[in-house]
Amino acid sequence: MEEQLSLLIQLQEIDSKIRTQNEQKNRLPETLAVLERRRVALNDNVDKVKEALQTAQKNKRDRDKDLEDGVQKVDKLKTRSSEIKNNKEYQALLKEIEAAEQENKAIEDSILGLMEKIDLAAGQITAAEERAKQEAAEIAAEQMQHEAAFKKLEEELKIIVEGRQKAIAGVPKPLLAQYQKLLVTKAGIAIVEARGESCSGCYMSIPPQVYVNVKKNASIITCPNCNRILYFKESIVQKNS
């Protein structure tokens, strides 16, 4: 029976490795998806900065047209001075010209502000593109590392699975069926060490007589609390050494 317990322990070690390998494999797609989202976010940032530049350039063109119209308005008002017949009309015309010139001055100030925005956006585009280029290279390198790790995991997993097939060959079918069921229902841990009159699977106490029997490793004994198969490590280690 100790030989069968040893095979189950070996099988448990193999299955734990398979579980760990599969968990790593299952995490990889999300890891790659996170990297892809980072790359897309970098490109989106570049697009936003370019959009800000285009908006500032369009606003400047609009204000340039407004200023052109404003200058023409002032010129037309000034040409009307020859048509003025009295001082009252002249004063009114001067106020209208002054208001138009003030409006033009506000447009000029607005244009200067837009020019600053354009210069700033142009610099931001260069910085954003450089950052996107640098991080894209880093992301691509990281993706390659993860893909290489994934390939290595698959190769290792193939070898481990082949080893599992050899391990189960020596386990009686009823015992293997019991083990497989526990593997599913007990979060991948079917056989555990009994240590200090406690089960190392559920950490609950084992009745003294049950513990005495477990220490013999002479039969298949399960934990009264979690139903996992129990074994006594020291005895098996001594027999195998």
Would you say how long the chain is, in residues? 241
Domain ranges in the chain are 14-168, 173-240
Three-state SS for 222? strand
CB-facing half-sphere around the CA of 220: CA atoms within 13 A: 19
Three-state SS for 58? helix
Among 43-52, 177-186, 232-241, the least confident range: 232-241
Question: What does DSSP assign to residue 194?
Answer: E
The pLDDT value recorded for residue 241 is 46
Angle, vertex CA 153, rays to CA 149 and CA 157, nearest 5: 175
* pLDDT band, residue 237 (cuts 50/70/90): low
Q: What is the pLDDT of residues 158-210, one digit of tens each?
A: 999 888 988 898 899 999 999 999 999 999 999 999 999 999 999 999 999 99
Angle, vertex CA 197, rays to CA 195 and CA 202, nearest 5: 70
CA dihedral 203, 209, 215, 220 (to 10 degrees): -80
Three-state SS for 110? helix
Among 54-63, 79-88, 104-113, the least confident range: 79-88
Give how far the C-alpha of residue 186 lies from the chain's centroid of Cα atoms, to the nearest Å.
30
Rg (C-alpha) for the chain, rounded Å, is 40
The pLDDT value recorded for residue 1 is 79
Lookup: tokens for 104: 């033009």
Total-model pTM: 0.61
Q: What is the pLDDT of residues 3-47, one digit of tens each?
A: 899 999 999 999 999 898 888 888 888 888 998 898 899 899 999
On whether the CB atoms of residues 193 and 200 are closer than 8 A, the answer is yes
On whether the CB atoms of residues 26 and 157 are closer than 8 A, the answer is no
Question: Which CATH code is given to the segment(s) 14-168?
Answer: 1.10.287.1490
Lookup: tokens for 22: 């599969």
On whether the CB atoms of residues 104 and 11 are closer than 8 A, the answer is no
Among 55-64, 82-91, 97-106, 210-219, the least confident range: 82-91
* Nearby residues of 114 by Cβ (< 8 Å), 6 or more positions away: 56, 59, 60, 63
Euclidean distance between the first and final Cα of the chain, in Å?
A: 17
Write out the E strands in the chain: 191-195, 198-199, 221-222, 229-231
Distance of alpha carbon 128 from alpha carbon 120, whole angstroms:
12
CA distances, 63 to each of 73, 96, 103, 170 (Å): 15, 21, 11, 87
Distance of alpha carbon 195 from alpha carbon 206, whole angstroms:
9
